[in-house]
Amino acid sequence: MSGYFFALTLCILTIAFLVLLLRRRWIREKYAVIWMVVAVGIAVLGAFPGLAVRVARLVGVEIPANLVFAVAIVTLLAVCIQLSIGVSQLDERVRTLTEEVAMLRLQTQTLQAQAQAPASAPTVAPADQAPRSATPPVSHTP
């Protein structure tokens, strides 16, 4: 069994795994695409090792393996940066949602307190439940 066959099997397994993840919606397509490209690239290089040698000669890299490594590092870097961007965007979204949740919660509380106020004793509202806010419920002006 040649090393090439081993590499090829690994690549096919990787691709199959990614497709599986995509089918189950465990990763979104925008993150999977770059991995697919990587897997296919490695598969092609594994199947036709002569390709790496030719490309290396073309761009002036002496050892083909170094070219493969360099490209791999750059690709991984790109993936990391993409992930960082994704996480930062998520951060911002969580932040906005947190703000909205807090405001909605306050609004509900105020409305609830107002609805309960006439029924229960109007003079002494329990401080823990009813926020004694002087402001009317926050109005959303679009």
Partner 1 sequence: MTEPLPRLLVVIPAWNEEQTIAAVIDEVRQAVPTADVLVVNDGSSDDTVTVAERAGATVLDLPLNLGVGGAMRAGFKYALRGGYALAAQIDADGQHDPAHLPDLWEAMSRHGADIVIGARFAGEGDYTVRGPRRWAMSLLAAVLSKVCGTRLTDTTSGFKLMNARALATFAANYQAEYLGDTVEALVIAARSHLLVRQVGVAMRPRAGGTPSHDPLKAAVFLMRAFLALVISLSRPAAPLPEPARPDPVPEGVRS
Residue numbers at the binding site for partner 1 (CB under 8 A)? 91, 94-95, 98-99, 101-103, 105-106, 127-128, 131-135, 138-142
Beta strands in the chain (DSSP E): none
Give min distance, CB of 4 to partner 1, in A: 47
Give min distance, CB of 116 to partner 1, in A: 15
Q: Which C-beta is closer to partner 1: that of 2 or that of 139? A: 139
Q: Which C-beta is closer to partner 1: that of 54 or that of 95? A: 95
- Scored b (16 or more CB within 10 A) or e, 11-31 reads beebbeebeeebeeeeeeeee
Would you say 82 and 31 are in contact if contact means Cβ atoms under 8 Å apart? Answer: yes
Q: Which residue has the tokens 């490594």?
A: 69
Q: Which C-beta is closer to partner 1: that of 14 or that of 109? A: 109
Q: Which C-beta is closer to partner 1: that of 32 or that of 130? A: 130
Would you say 26 and 32 are in contact if contact means Cβ atoms under 8 Å apart? Answer: no
Give min distance, CB of 90 to partner 1, in A: 13
CA distance 58 to 53: 9
Give min distance, CB of 41 to partner 1, in A: 35
Q: Which C-beta is closer to partner 1: that of 2 or that of 135? A: 135
Would you say 67 and 52 are in contact if contact means Cβ atoms under 8 Å apart? Answer: yes
CA distance 56 to 68: 9
Give min distance, CB of 99 to partner 1, in A: 4
